[in-house]
Amino acid sequence: MPPLAPDNERTVLIRLAEGDESAFDLLYNYYQPKLFLYIHPFTGKSKEETEEILQEVFVKLWIRKESLPAVKSFPQYLFRMTRNQLLDNKAKKKKLPASMQVLPEQSDDALTAVEKMLLQEYTEAAKEAILQLPEQRRKIFLMRYQKDMTLDEIAADLHIAKTTTKKQLYAAIKRVRVYLKEKGGWPAILMVIILKYL
């Protein structure tokens, strides 16, 4: 994927600050693979721990979206945030790699009490959105995004046609997206990021 041009990235950050979900999706899809490769070696190549750190970073990014247009270098800001989150996680688990610096006593990227409260509110809204789905749609949704199953695997497991599975999944995604927007303008992609931790 070609790098985002500075002018274009600036426009995307302004759109994100205004709550544009598509701008968040664009940044997530562009930076997530890069950040995964950056984090993964420092977690002992643990996919679970790497995804946990990514979850924290992107949730935090959404919460702080209004301040992003003022950031001089977004890639530098994002990688610093990611590094601090990695250090924070390692410090908590007392497995800080010798190759990395000691975490500062007060990291400006640590989740604040308000951010933790917002994340909790979002998590509750996500749970409510999933619970309100009809039983089969909820099952398909969770199999796809919590268990990372393909449409073919889901269809075979539930003994239904792949086309039916696809329609049910899209209907579930649409309903969840509407619910989360009504509950505070949360982007649906965030739920996919944190779903396995609910």
Report the C-alpha gap between 141 and 172 in whole angstroms.
7
| Amino acid occupying residue 198 | L
Matching residue, tokens 């995307």:
12
What per-residue confidence (pLDDT) applies to 124? 81
CATH class of 6-93: mainly alpha
Q: How does pLDDT run along the chain (198 residues), one tens digit per residue?
A: 445 665 688 899 999 999 888 899 899 989 999 999 999 888 888 888 888 888 888 888 888 899 999 998 999 999 998 988 888 777 766 654 544 444 443 445 555 666 667 767 777 888 888 899 999 999 999 998 888 789 999 999 999 999 999 999 999 988 888 887 777 677 767 776 666 555
Q: Which of 59, 65, 173, 67 is nearest to 120 (CA)?
A: 59
At the topology level, CATH places domain 113-197 in: Arc Repressor Mutant, subunit A (1.10.10)
Matching residue, tokens 């099952």:
139
What per-residue confidence (pLDDT) applies to 68? 93
Report the C-alpha gap between 166 and 183 in whole angstroms.
26
What per-residue confidence (pLDDT) applies to 106? 41
Domains 6-93 and 113-197 share a fold: no
What per-residue confidence (pLDDT) applies to 195? 66
0.75 exceeded by the pTM? Answer: no
Q: First-to-last CA distance in the chain?
A: 31
What per-residue confidence (pLDDT) applies to 152? 94
Q: How many CB atoms lie within 10 A of CB 48?
A: 9
What per-residue confidence (pLDDT) applies to 127? 84
For the chain, give every domain's residue range: 6-93, 113-197
Under DSSP, the state recorded for 62 is H
Report the C-alpha gap between 185 and 45 in whole angstroms.
34
What per-residue confidence (pLDDT) applies to 174? 86
